[in-house]
A and B are shown apart, each in its own frame.
Chain A
Amino acid sequence: MNSKSGYNRLFDPMAETGQALDFSQHGLGQKTVGNPFSVKAKMSVRNLNVYYDDKQAIHDVSLDINRNEVMAMIGPSGCGKSTFLRCLNRMNDTIENCNVNGEVTLDEQDIYHKKQDVVPLRARVGIVFQKPNPFPKSIYENVAYGPKVHGLVSRRAQLDEIVEDSLRKASLWDEVKDRLFSPGTGLSGGQQQRLCIARTIAVSPEVILMDEPCSALDPIATARIEELMAELSQNFTIAIVTHSMQQAARVSSRTAYFHMGRLIEVNDTRRVFTNPEHELTEAYITGRFG
């Protein structure tokens, strides 16, 4: 069954409002439709399975994320998109009962290799969370902390340069340049989130993961972050998890749709939002189930 037949029943008087979908009838368990693979992948995931104790949260997901692309991950709550995102820089290692198997590579290097140190990995693959979480330090220190810890600077002038450059790239410099030594927690929500992005950028990552980075922000702050994502994608590879489908449509070049731990469809964003290939993607983005 595919999405093409779906419209014919849009106004079917027999269709009952709120009737649950029978997922076994909708191609769950089949392979992902669309174009999950690429020849210019920055990160590659193959046959990823994630378990929380006995409960399987991700089922056999394979996906490539291209260099300098913004990849959006969408899906209903509990579909595994955030779990998947956290596998990309091993944030799930911090969860005791979480068990990950499969292959995840960054520039063809296995990030789950036993000799892989997660600290430099997380500098290369940074993450921005839903809730802005600046350190209880000054704006300057928030950005300077990473480069200092990772030993990226030897002189103060060099550190100043990184702080300014990162704040500029995060579109925050003009708003904070006169109060760099005020506490980061004193900024507005949107500014704090841009500060967290500056902090991530400061260690020169190659990939930036964003887990619902705008869900706690007002529309103006959201617009700023979205604008920023477009600029950042010139230099970085971005993977974003979002509950806002309009945001996914606006910021990404490819969109991945997750459903019950499975990767259902990956396609060009334009295609996903105008003519998705899979019936489940269609049902989700048109608001036919939650």
Chain B
Amino acid sequence: MERHISQRFDSDLEALKSQVLEMGGIVEQQIIDSVKAIESVNRPLAEHVLEVEDDVDRREVLLDENCTMILACRQPAASDLRMVLSVTKMTRDLERMGDEAQKIAQMAIALSDDGAAPGGYEEIRHMGALVQKMVNSVLDAFARFDADKALDVARADTQVDREYKSAMREIVTYMMEDPRSIGRVMNILWALRSIERIGDHARNIAEHIIYLVKGYDVRHTSVHEIEKRLNKP
């Protein structure tokens, strides 16, 4: 595909892409830091995650403004239209990932104040690593407009959901074994819940990328159906 006749339109779209990737990079770091803060009981790191949130919110608003201007001034069609629509949805998911990272950081602060929970850290570490990989891959898929890589992210979310269910069973065991620790274990549980939600948002972004690249709306469909749509075995 050639460049637009209007070079400014090209620059507008390129700027949009860079801004999404920058925002994604910040949110990705927020997720890494929040998981690390809870694992290593690092209160200053958790506080840093909270501080970044304003920047993420500001970027979401700016990206929305830029998308609105492109829609109003350029009336994009086809792949350009899908790009702008996908970006507005992706930024919302990125912002919500940031919110979840913030919640994890708040749990890290609570655990640092109340003392460590009797267990659940291994689950945090394991699920945290899976989700961090998903977020990294989905941003990479967007940077390359790679629908296959986005499909891999959707597949990974199924694994995260399975891990979450299994982690829940473990967490309940800790509570039953030591009812006095329920308050602290609940903090771990909320953090796991947030990690699982980040996985869901990464999957949403993967779906937006598939729409952007292929033009298929694969929301609310199973991974199997997406594979069929993309003719994958």
By a beta-carbon cutoff of 8 Å, the part of chain A in contact with chain B is 3-4, 6-11, 15-19, 21, 245-246, 249, 272-276, 279, 281-283, 285-290
Assess A249 versus B77: contact at CB under 8 Å? Given A4-B213, A11-B17, A287-B9: yes
- Pick the residue among A16, A246, A285 that contacts B78 (CB under 8 A): A285
B35 at the interface (CB under 8 A from A): no
Q: Judging by beta carbons under 8 Å apart, are B5 and A290 in contact?
A: yes
B65 to chain A, nearest CB (A): 21
Q: Judging by beta carbons under 8 Å apart, are A287 and B145 in contact?
A: no
- Pick the residue among A245, A275, A285, A289 that contacts B215 (CB under 8 A): A275
Which one of B2, B14, B80, B215 has the highest number of Cβ atoms from chain A below 10 Å of its Cβ?
B2
A249-B4 Cα distance, complex, nearest whole Å: 20
Report the count of interface residues on B (CB-CB < 8 A): 27
Q: Judging by beta carbons under 8 Å apart, are B76 and A288 in contact?
A: no
Q: Judging by beta carbons under 8 Å apart, are B1 and A273 in contact?
A: no
Assess A274 versus B1: contact at CB under 8 Å? Given A7-B212, A10-B13, A246-B75: no
Q: Judging by beta carbons under 8 Å apart, are A7 and B145 in contact?
A: yes
A153-B2 Cα distance, complex, nearest whole Å: 57
Assess A287 versus B5: contact at CB under 8 Å? Given A7-B145, A275-B82: yes
By a beta-carbon cutoff of 8 Å, the part of chain B in contact with chain A is 1-7, 9-10, 13-14, 17, 75-83, 144-145, 212-215
A14 to chain B, nearest CB (A): 11
Residues in chain B near residue A11, CB distance under 8 A: 10, 13-14, 17
Assess A288 versus B4: contact at CB under 8 Å? Given A275-B78, A275-B82: yes
Residues in chain B near residue A290, CB distance under 8 A: 5
Residues in chain B near residue A286, CB distance under 8 A: 1, 4, 76-80
A64-B180 Cα distance, complex, nearest whole Å: 77
B119 to chain A, nearest CB (A): 46
29 intermolecular pairs with C-beta atoms under 8 Å apart: A3-B78, A6-B79, A7-B79, A7-B83, A7-B213, A10-B13, A15-B2, A17-B7, A18-B3, A18-B5, A19-B2, A19-B3, A21-B2, A245-B77, A272-B78, A274-B81, A274-B215, A275-B78, A282-B79, A283-B2, A285-B77, A286-B1, A286-B78, A286-B79, A286-B80, A288-B2, A288-B3, A288-B4, A290-B5
